[in-house]
Chains A and B, each alone.
Chain A
Amino acid sequence: MIFAVLIPLVLALFIPLISKAKHKVHTGIFVLFIPLGIFLYFIRYIGNDFSPVRHTYNWIPSLNINFDFYLDGLSLLFVLLISGIGTLVVFYSIYYLHKTEKLGHFYVYLLMFMSAMLGVVLSDNVFVLYSFWELTSISSFLLIGYWHHRERSRYGAQKSMLITVFGGLSMLGGLVLLTVITGTTSIRSMIDQVDIILNSNYLPLILVLILLGAFTKSAQFPFHIWLPDAMEAPTPVSAYLHSATMVKAGIYLVARFLPIFVAYEWFFISVSLIGIVTLIWGSYMAVRQTDLKGILAFSTISQLGMIMAMLGFGTEAAIFAAVFHILNHATFKGSLFMVAGIIDHETGTRDIRKLGGLFTIMPISGTLALFGTFSMAGVPLPFLNGFYSKELFFGATTELSVTTNGLASFLSTAVPYLAVFGSIFTFVYSMYLFFGAFTGPKKFDLLKKKPHEAPIGMLISPIVLVLGVIIIGLFPNLTNGTLIAHAAQGILNSEIKPYHIHYWHGFDSLAFQMSLVVVGIGIVLFLTRKKWSNIYHVLPGKRSFNKVYDKLIQKIDDFSAGITNSYMTGSLKLYMSIILLTIIAVTFIIMFTTGGLTNISFDNLAEVEIIDLAVVFIMVLAALATIFVNNKLALIIITGIVGFGISILFVIFRAPDLALTQLVVETISMALFLLAYYHLPELRKRNETITTSATNTILAIGMGVLITLTGIAAHSSNWFNTISEYFVETSYKLGGGHNIVNVILVDMRGLDTLFEIAVLGIAALAIYGLIKVRKNKEAE
């Protein structure tokens, strides 16, 4: 199975080579065999006696991340959709994309996606699933941005990436939580430990995070906004990723985790509610679109909402209907997208206002669209698969059990009405799509091209799909026991009997009555469309979730620039002040809360002599004077006084080597400062505001007090003897020197000294460089 998943990815590497010959042979012809092969490989699993298959390949076993492929009914359905529709889409693209396009890129992305999507639906390991999940987002990003010279493409690509990766990362959070709680990375094992999960405090959080992943991917309200913009991708991509497969990954995810969450009533509430709202909003908004692909995009959103809602219901009937609809939606929506592509290709526009009366010129396409739209609308005809799944959907809405939770029971009462309400608009936009484009007055003068029927090659793929619509429509039970029931079983994780789908439910069937209401009101609304279309000025009016997104992105930029520029001013003083303030404040707090000063004692101190005090006093005076002096020579000299004071202190404290060194260094420093004296301007008076000097003073004193206090406390902590005894003992014995400090420097801590010299050396070279650059510049 790993081959099936990874082959597209591996072969994608060769596409750039093959595409070199694209002017002789269309690259798509080579690619075609990949999904076809995968389809043929998996189709043999179809059958009544199917049982799940598991193949495991190690990847990172020490982290429990392995290619753990698990093929159950649900995965099988998806795998067949991915490879089947994939084959048709690639075939279609051979005619759709001209050889002058960057075919190499296109097919690399497409194959990348194929691998990714197969990986998503086959992985039992959550982190492998996540990896493939992100790869679908990435390939979708690249495909939407395929024509990246267009502003809208770039916009759409970025939007889809941000929203789906956001969801992906949320999902990752949820998966990590699940992994930690259950101690496993396998979804199957998680399902076995459902009790632990349901009793976890993190259950609500897990649900939210996982659902965020699913909802963003499956374009559920209000994350649906990326899907219409994704229509910038070439039409084969829209048909494939953004209608038949990738957007169903979210559905797949919810279905996969359904056995874990189904007993949790917030799962029902959130998934059903969001699903129904998406269904209504999508179909309502679809009627308003003028772009053929725009209508189809909102229609997809709405249909995905419907499937999502059914998963939320969680009943056996609903699940069965959901699975059935996944299949049906792929057939009719796929064909409709392809027809939309044909219209675009042959007329040069997708604007429904410029189209009309195409049926006479494009009869085959027209017929295909007729079947597609009517199936989508759920028109009660026994050869349309969409009718059956809609009927099952209505049936499922009426059979919801009422729970104790107030919100949940309200929702289950309201759901049938909402479902009917949303479906009415579904009917309207389906009719609008078909009749708007194919009937009515001809407006060919508005078109860039003279329209004609598409070449046969382009028609084959949609014909195959429409045949699917009709065959499933005529024999609804054909796929029932062999595929659908297994898939439903895979979702519910329990044995279920295949549903028998009836052609005719009878007039007393509630579901059929609902269908009739939909069709009845739908026809009225469709015919009076112009009269009530003003409603869109009220809802959504000028409001739109797109604007929210655009504002958000703009805000992110502005907000970050605002914040960052407010403190990243390039002012050293500000940086230093913030750093100092933090250090002082935090350290003081820690000092007092951890009892830092408790050990302070005044025992065991050296005696004070007058001369010491005198030196210290002079140094204090000099140090303070550095602040107030406004003459640079005076400043340098005063600083020198402090330095020489230090060397006197070294003498007093019995550190002859230090005193000498300090003396030498201080002298050389003075010489160096003369450089500054010559080249730096005279000091100016510190004309600063009172607040500035007050802040500076506080920071300065704060730091000073901090050092003194910690110093005193550290000095008082007489827990241990120092390691110095050892140096005294061994200085001569092992080091051969009487001057202990020298022995330490050149022997015991010779490494320090070696690198101290290195520091000096680097400094010398750097100074040399600085001066030489200047000389060179002057020379130029």
Chain B
Amino acid sequence: MSNLTILPIIIPMLAGIIVAFTNSRVKITRALTKLLTIISLVVAMIVTYSVFTDGTIILETGDWVAPYGIILVADKLSILLILTTNIIATAAVFYAPHSLTLKQETHYFYTFYFMLIAGVSGAFLTGDLFNLFVFFEVLLMASYALIVLGGDRVQLRESIKYVLINLFSSMLFVTAVALLYGAVGTINMAQIAERVAEVEQDGILTTIAVLLFFVFGTKAALFPLYYWLPRPYIVPNPVVSALFGALLTKVGIYSILRVFSLIFVHRMEITHEAFIWIAGLSMLFGVIGALSTNNIKLIISYNIIPAIGFIIMGIGIFNQDALSGSIYYLIHDMIIKSALFLLVGVIAYVAGTSDLTKMKGLIHHYPVIGWLLFISAFILAGIPPFSGFIGKLLLLKGAVTADEIVITIIALLSSLLILYSVMKIFIRGFWGEKDDTKNYTKKASLGLILPIAGLLAVSVFLGVGAEFVYPSIEGIAEYLLDPQIYIDSVLKE
């Protein structure tokens, strides 16, 4: 049944091709997209189930044995992320028709969307470093297409910066892969890990590791590489922002997690120690950014950065609790970030502006949106019993166990500021007198609200129902702490 592994990549890819042909008939396209997305979600669930019952599933594409051919590795970490991706994708697809203009839809939005999902899934699954580069390009190319969709002035302006920065880091990526090949003679991740371990990450290897870290760090938007992120993320349609916010940076951080738990784990006093510092700075600068603006979309966009900080903090500390925390936080953040992007999209739509200073008393007109935002703010800030809390608690425990007190305090402080930055929208935009100068005629249709509510429900479940989720996450952390398991499952020696 190892062929299951490729389904999460192939289904969206084929779906993207199919909907390209129905493009001009938008009703059919919509229906097909929903259908195919749900199929993809169900398949993701099936694969997840079988990975969690039978263990890692390896697919040697074209039957070329590892480490020579391209290997797809569906282990618990990657499959859980794929499941999360599909959940978010489903929400996005149901939201999309209500948010996009007809023109945007017929400019192959759905094709690009499916390709993005295919690229993201591929990046999670692949066990080959160059193949990871290819999937990065797939998802980036799809993101370039999505970000310019509609093509207005501001969009184009931010897009070109976005493309250029990503292009630069892609080229650095391919160079780093080449350098690694030059040093250890392979591009299969398991074999690289084995070989790096054999020479104890000697000589140039740590330098190459750092280069790779910068490549992934740029995608993940870590301090000080995140400058490109906040603005380009807010120019496209909210559904695109949500996909970006939830998926793109997370692929970067996933890659860091994978590479720095599997391959480069022999000079942790340098690499991982630095991660902790980077984590602290990302948290601080991220929330500072979020507090600096009155643009509600930008507030959410900036909030991506501290979240990434939380995740890298766990990778830096690298013990059982901290890693579990990182993974929990990663999944939590994918879901809540997409919900928040969709939500501020609705707010900006009904209020007719994304400028907070021009909003007041929205709760009189849109109570449901207001309360969804209220809950989201607490979820995001990691207030119990929601999902963010479990991740944060584990991270804090991990940090304290490792005697990393400074980062503990920074993490707590930034939680407060994260809460403040989002609660600001609620207090200033939703509370207050009824604004009689404007007539709020735009309706927030159910099509817009339900996907958000659905995502929030998942978030609440991840917190309240942590007992159903945490043991699996704990298992993943244990597994990551012992790279040999991955190596053995791929190389079967």
Asked if A and B touch directly (CB within 8 angstroms), the answer is yes
Binding site for B on A (CB under 8 A): 58-63, 65, 127, 130-131, 134, 138, 145, 148-149, 154, 157-158, 161-162, 165-166, 169-170, 172-173, 176-177, 179-180, 202, 205, 556-557, 559-565, 567-568, 570, 572, 574-576, 578-579, 582-583, 586-587, 590-591, 593-599, 707, 710-711, 713-715, 717, 719-723, 726-727, 730, 734, 747-752, 755-756, 758-759, 762-763, 765-766, 769-770, 772-774, 776
What residue in chain B is nearest A750 (Cβ atoms)?
Answer: B62
**Binary flags per residue of B145-188, CB closer than 8 Å to A gives 1, else 0:** 10011110000000001001100100010010001111111111
Give B222-251 interface residues, CB cut-off 8 Å to A.
224-225, 227-228, 230-231
Contact across chains for B138 and A762 when beta carbons are under 8 A apart: yes
A-B contact sample (18 more), CB < 8 A, given A722-B181, A722-B186, A723-B191: A134-B384, A149-B432, A165-B383, A169-B416, A567-B227, A570-B161, A570-B231, A594-B270, A597-B204, A720-B184, A722-B185, A723-B186, A723-B187, A727-B68, A747-B64, A765-B108, A766-B148, A769-B149
**Pick from B118, B165, B186, B292: contact of A575, CB under 8 Å:** B165
Q: Which of B73-81, B407-415, B476-484 is the interface stretch? A: B407-415
The verdict on A596 contacting B408 (CB below 8 Å), with A579-B225, A723-B185 known, is no
Contact across chains for B224 and A594 when beta carbons are under 8 A apart: no
B91 at the interface (CB under 8 A from A): no
Where chain B touches its partner, the secondary structure class is helix
Contacts of B111 in A (CB 8 A): 762, 765
Contact across chains for A180 and B401 when beta carbons are under 8 A apart: yes
**How far is A123 from B146 in the complex, measured between Cα atoms in Å?**
50
The verdict on A62 contacting B405 (CB below 8 Å), with A162-B416, A590-B207 known, is no
Where chain A touches its partner, the secondary structure class is helix
CB A297 to nearest CB in B, in angstroms, measures: 22
Contact across chains for A774 and B397 when beta carbons are under 8 A apart: no
**Pick from B175, B433, B474: contact of A62, CB under 8 Å:** B474
Contacts of A556 in B (CB 8 A): 291, 417
B293 at the interface (CB under 8 A from A): yes
Interface centre among A58, A579, A770 (most CB of B within 10 A): A579
**Binary flags per residue of B408-451, CB closer than 8 Å to A gives 1, else 0:** 11001101110110010001100111100000000000000000
**Pick from B187, B199, B363, B393: contact of A127, CB under 8 Å:** B393
Contact across chains for A752 and B130 when beta carbons are under 8 A apart: yes
**How far is A238 from B378 in the complex, measured between Cα atoms in Å?**
24
**Pick from A591, A759, A776: contact of B207, CB under 8 Å:** A591
Q: Which of B210-218, B255-263, B347-355 is the interface stretch? A: B210-218
Contact across chains for B207 and A587 when beta carbons are under 8 A apart: yes
**How far is A677 from B416 in the complex, measured between Cα atoms in Å?**
53
Contacts of A172 in B (CB 8 A): 393, 396, 412
**How far is A748 from B164 in the complex, measured between Cα atoms in Å?**
31
Contacts of B409 in A (CB 8 A): 173
**Pick from B70, B285, B293, B423: contact of A158, CB under 8 Å:** B423
**Pick from A560, A575, A590, A719: contact of B195, CB under 8 Å:** A719
Contact across chains for A564 and B67 when beta carbons are under 8 A apart: no
**How far is A719 from B385 in the complex, measured between Cα atoms in Å?**
52
B50 at the interface (CB under 8 A from A): no
B466 at the interface (CB under 8 A from A): yes
The verdict on A583 contacting B115 (CB below 8 Å), with A564-B292, A749-B69, A773-B151 known, is no
Contact across chains for A145 and B470 when beta carbons are under 8 A apart: no
The 14 listed contacts between A and B (C-beta, < 8 Å) are A61-B467, A148-B432, A202-B405, A565-B292, A568-B289, A572-B165, A594-B207, A596-B206, A599-B202, A710-B211, A714-B179, A714-B208, A720-B195, A752-B131
Contact across chains for A721 and B470 when beta carbons are under 8 A apart: no
Give B288-344 interface residues, CB cut-off 8 Å to A.
288-293
Interface centre among A172, A177, A776 (most CB of B within 10 A): A172
B2 at the interface (CB under 8 A from A): no
Contact across chains for A587 and B204 when beta carbons are under 8 A apart: no
CB A137 to nearest CB in B, in angstroms, measures: 9
B54 at the interface (CB under 8 A from A): no
CB A10 to nearest CB in B, in angstroms, measures: 14
The verdict on A776 contacting B103 (CB below 8 Å), with A590-B207, A723-B191, A749-B69 known, is yes
B55 at the interface (CB under 8 A from A): no
Contact across chains for A599 and B203 when beta carbons are under 8 A apart: yes
The verdict on A596 contacting B69 (CB below 8 Å), with A561-B293, A567-B227, A575-B165 known, is no
CB A570 to nearest CB in B, in angstroms, measures: 7
B134 at the interface (CB under 8 A from A): yes
CB A100 to nearest CB in B, in angstroms, measures: 15
Contacts of B131 in A (CB 8 A): 749, 751-752
Contacts of A774 in B (CB 8 A): 151
**How far is A64 from B393 in the complex, measured between Cα atoms in Å?**
12
**Pick from B70, B148, B419: contact of A769, CB under 8 Å:** B148
Contact across chains for B138 and A759 when beta carbons are under 8 A apart: yes
Contacts of B69 in A (CB 8 A): 748-749
Contact across chains for B204 and A60 when beta carbons are under 8 A apart: no
B390 at the interface (CB under 8 A from A): yes
**How far is A79 from B115 in the complex, measured between Cα atoms in Å?**
57
Q: Which 9 A-B pairs have the closest CB atoms?
A: A722-B185, A766-B145, A131-B384, A564-B292, A713-B204, A148-B431, A714-B182, A560-B291, A560-B292
**How far is A570 from B289 in the complex, measured between Cα atoms in Å?**
14
Contacts of B363 in A (CB 8 A): 148
Chain B contributes a number of interface residues (CB within 8 A of A) equal to 115
The verdict on A578 contacting B224 (CB below 8 Å), with A173-B396, A747-B64 known, is yes
B400 at the interface (CB under 8 A from A): yes
What residue in chain B is nearest A128 (Cβ atoms)?
Answer: B384
B365 at the interface (CB under 8 A from A): no
The verdict on A759 contacting B68 (CB below 8 Å), with A595-B203, A717-B182, A720-B195 known, is no
**How far is A169 from B144 in the complex, measured between Cα atoms in Å?**
40
CB A622 to nearest CB in B, in angstroms, measures: 19
**Pick from B144, B292, B405: contact of A205, CB under 8 Å:** B405
Contact across chains for B179 and A710 when beta carbons are under 8 A apart: yes
**How far is A91 from B184 in the complex, measured between Cα atoms in Å?**
77
The verdict on A579 contacting B227 (CB below 8 Å), with A131-B385, A162-B420, A747-B64 known, is yes
**How far is A591 from B142 in the complex, measured between Cα atoms in Å?**
35
Contact across chains for A758 and B149 when beta carbons are under 8 A apart: no
The verdict on A575 contacting B227 (CB below 8 Å), with A597-B204, A762-B142 known, is yes
CB B151 to nearest CB in A, in angstroms, measures: 4
Contact across chains for B227 and A568 when beta carbons are under 8 A apart: yes
CB A661 to nearest CB in B, in angstroms, measures: 16
Contacts of A180 in B (CB 8 A): 397, 400-401
CB B315 to nearest CB in A, in angstroms, measures: 17
Contact across chains for B20 and A765 when beta carbons are under 8 A apart: yes
B61 at the interface (CB under 8 A from A): yes
B34 at the interface (CB under 8 A from A): no
CB B108 to nearest CB in A, in angstroms, measures: 5
CB B7 to nearest CB in A, in angstroms, measures: 14
Contact across chains for B141 and A763 when beta carbons are under 8 A apart: yes
**Pick from B20, B204, B287: contact of A717, CB under 8 Å:** B204
**How far is A131 from B179 in the complex, measured between Cα atoms in Å?**
49
**How far is A202 from B150 in the complex, measured between Cα atoms in Å?**
56
Contact across chains for A568 and B384 when beta carbons are under 8 A apart: no
**How far is A319 from B52 in the complex, measured between Cα atoms in Å?**
54
Contacts of B280 in A (CB 8 A): none
**How far is A202 from B134 in the complex, measured between Cα atoms in Å?**
48
Contacts of B203 in A (CB 8 A): 594-596, 598-599, 713, 717
Contact across chains for A564 and B415 when beta carbons are under 8 A apart: no
B112 at the interface (CB under 8 A from A): yes
CB A419 to nearest CB in B, in angstroms, measures: 35
Contacts of A721 in B (CB 8 A): 185
Contacts of A176 in B (CB 8 A): 393, 396-397, 400, 408
Contacts of B225 in A (CB 8 A): 579, 582
Contacts of B230 in A (CB 8 A): 568
CB A143 to nearest CB in B, in angstroms, measures: 13
What residue in chain B is nearest A130 (Cβ atoms)?
Answer: B384
B13 at the interface (CB under 8 A from A): yes
What residue in chain B is nearest A132 (Cβ atoms)?
Answer: B384
